[in-house]
Amino acid sequence: MPARNRIPLPIGTQLGVFEVVSLPFPLLVPGRSGQSQTRNRYFVRLRCTGPDCEWEDDVREDDLERRKTAACGFCYISLDVDPEARIHVERVWKGRPQTYDRYRYHGKSYDRLHRIWANMRERCSNPTSEKWKRYGGRGITVDPGWENFRAFEAWALENGYADGLTIDRINNDRGYEPGNCRWVTDLENLLNRARYLPTPLHEALEARAAVDDVDTYSVIRVALEALRAEREQIS
């Protein structure tokens, strides 16, 4: 098999809280003839840059992108770390007693706001996401400053975030950035999306709303409820 075209990361490259300390190298495994053979997998040695952290290991090259936002599993330092949030640790590791202060995660991985942040980044950066075509696939991106959850959380709390509200882009053709986002109800979000429907569909929606003497949201809600009931009868 021909060698892949490779663009190795220079030694010293920073990947979040990690630093590259070697060029990529292949995994060698014993072949049938007893000699080592190269698999089409490459590794890079990384080390944690946390104070007094001893973690250093070989990481698969296809896992390096995730490491840009990952926390160190040894000292728990991360891009989202609170420098004042430390936990005193006394333990025995690999036969050696250790005493040190490790960092603590932000502890909000299961919060609603963290899910909103994670889903926002997923649909804009992951081509396998179901919503990729409507977001990342057409150039919608997330502001680089919001790659850090702490920064996104601070903006959200300062700009009206509350349970029950969703993030909405004011200009549907621009990305997720502080000047283009707001917190709205589901109804406001739905009406904002309706402005970008194809003209014939939007006109039909408004015409039906006028006939029924309701708003366009009610027309959509009734249609969805009817569709759900029809599917339940079929199943």
Q: Are residue 189 and residue 226 in the same domain, yes or no?
A: no
Which residue is listed with tokens 């990342």?
Answer: 136
Q: Are residue 190 and residue 203 in the same domain, yes or no?
A: no
pTM: 0.53
φ, ψ (nearest 5 deg) of residue 179: -80, -5
pLDDT at residue 9, rounded to an integer: 82
Confidence of residue 177 (pLDDT cuts 50, 70, 90): very high
Number of domains in the chain: 3
Residue ending a domain, choose from 103, 124, 139 = 103
What whole-number distance in Å separates Cα of residue 136 and Cα of residue 126?
A: 8
29 forms beta bridges with: 37
Q: Is the residue at 166 inside a domain?
A: yes
* Among the ranges given (8-17, 53-62, 150-159, 185-194), the one the predictor scored with the smallest mean pLDDT: 185-194
Domain that holds residue 30: 14-103
φ, ψ (nearest 5 deg) of residue 42: -125, 150
Q: Are residue 158 and residue 141 in the same domain, yes or no?
A: yes
What whole-number distance in Å separates Cα of residue 77 and Cα of residue 83?
A: 9
Q: Are residue 222 and residue 189 in the same domain, yes or no?
A: no
Q: Are residue 132 and residue 203 in the same domain, yes or no?
A: no
Digit-coded pLDDT (tens) for 52-106: 788 999 998 888 888 887 888 788 787 777 666 777 778 887 788 877 767 666 6
Length of the chain: 235
Digit-coded pLDDT (tens) for 204-216: 777 777 777 877 7
Q: Is the residue at 4 inside a domain?
A: no
Q: Are residue 62 and residue 118 in the same domain, yes or no?
A: no
What whole-number distance in Å separates Cα of residue 92 and Cα of residue 98?
A: 6
Q: Are residue 166 and residue 187 in the same domain, yes or no?
A: yes
Q: Is the residue at 5 inside a domain?
A: no
